[in-house]
Amino acid sequence: MISQELREFCERWFEKAQGYQGRSIQECFDRFFTLFIVYNRLYAELALSWARTGRIILRSRNPSVPDAQAAKRYVHSYLGTNHIWSSFQDDDQCKWAVGIICKLLENQVFVIKLDRLSGEPRPEEDKKLLENLRSENRYRKVVALLDTIYSIRCNMFHGHKGFDSVQTELLVPVNLLLDKLTALLYERLSSDDKVGILPLGESERVTKGGWYVKKPFTKGQ
């Protein structure tokens, strides 16, 4: 299970996010950033837990969490397609949010997929997002939603999303989805007794700089 320290961290930031309920550009940005801090901490915890138990392998030299993979692929695999999609569809606000995002993409009101260095639009990638969101395949829908959320995060963190009131048209629905997704991940990790626990038979591992590494072979072992 996740640590008490992590629980307190998440609860504190969830509470802070609830304070941003307005639709001004300032509050929309603040709510997104605040929620993503929680989401980032949780998917990093998931990735580190999987690395400790051998489900994934991190680079041996200067290991770090593969951020994009963790935010999209690992979370998707952990929560499951049906759980994520049904949770969105059972929530009227999230259902509305998915529809709004589809309309914004269809009408090309916003460009979501941008080149991370130049900030130039990638219209073909936006077209793929819309096709997946409109697909009958739940897996493709969830992949597109997680990609949309993470892409908007990248645009904001790398300065490619303008601080303009028009952005609220996209951020209001995206914040609803990010809030729901983060809550789902928090609830699952909080009740998962396999998270944060070393597998049986791994007592020979030692902690080094926060990472679990195999003890080096020594004479006599």
Burial of 203 (0-12, 13-18, 19+ CB in 10 A): exposed
* Confidence grade of residue 216 (pLDDT, cut at 50, 70, 90): very low
Lowest mean pLDDT among 74-83, 90-99, 100-109, 154-163: 154-163
What pLDDT was estimated at residue 219? 40
pTM of the model: 0.84
Strand partners, 180: none
Mean per-residue pLDDT of the chain: 86
Q: 130: closest CA among 110, 115, 159?
A: 110
Q: Are 189 and 46 in contact (CB under 8 A)?
A: yes
pLDDT-derived band of residue 62, with 50, 70 and 90 as boundaries?
low
Q: Please provide the DSSP assignment of the chain as one string.
A: ---HHHHHHHHHHHHHHHT--S-SHHHHHHHHHHHHHHHHHHHHHHHHHHHHTTSS---SSS----HHHIIIIIHHHHH-HHHHHHHHHTSHHHHHHHHHHHHHHHTT-----B-TTT--B-HHHHHHHHHHHTSS-HHHHHHHHHHHHHHHHHHHHTT-S---GGGHHHHHHHHHHHHHHHHHHHHHHHH-TTTT-PPTT-TTEEEETTEEEEPPP-TT-
Between 102 and 219, where is the model more confident?
A: 102
Write the secondary structure of 88-138 as one string of H (helix), E (strand) and C (coil): HHCCHHHHHHHHHHHHHHHCCCCCCCECCCCCCECHHHHHHHHHHHCCCCH
Question: What percent of the chain lies above the pLDDT cut of 90?
Answer: 63
Looking at the DSSP bridge assignments, the partners of residue 114 are 121
pLDDT in tens, 170-209: 999 999 999 999 999 999 999 998 886 554 444 334 343 4
Predicted confidence (pLDDT) at residue 6 exceeds the cutoff of 70: yes
pLDDT given at position 210: 44
**23 Cα distance to chain centroid:** 22
- Degrees, nearest 5: CA angle 192-10-198: 35
| Phi, psi of 207, deg, nearest 5 | -90, 130
Listed range (56-70, 73-87, 129-143, 174-188) with the worst mean pLDDT: 56-70
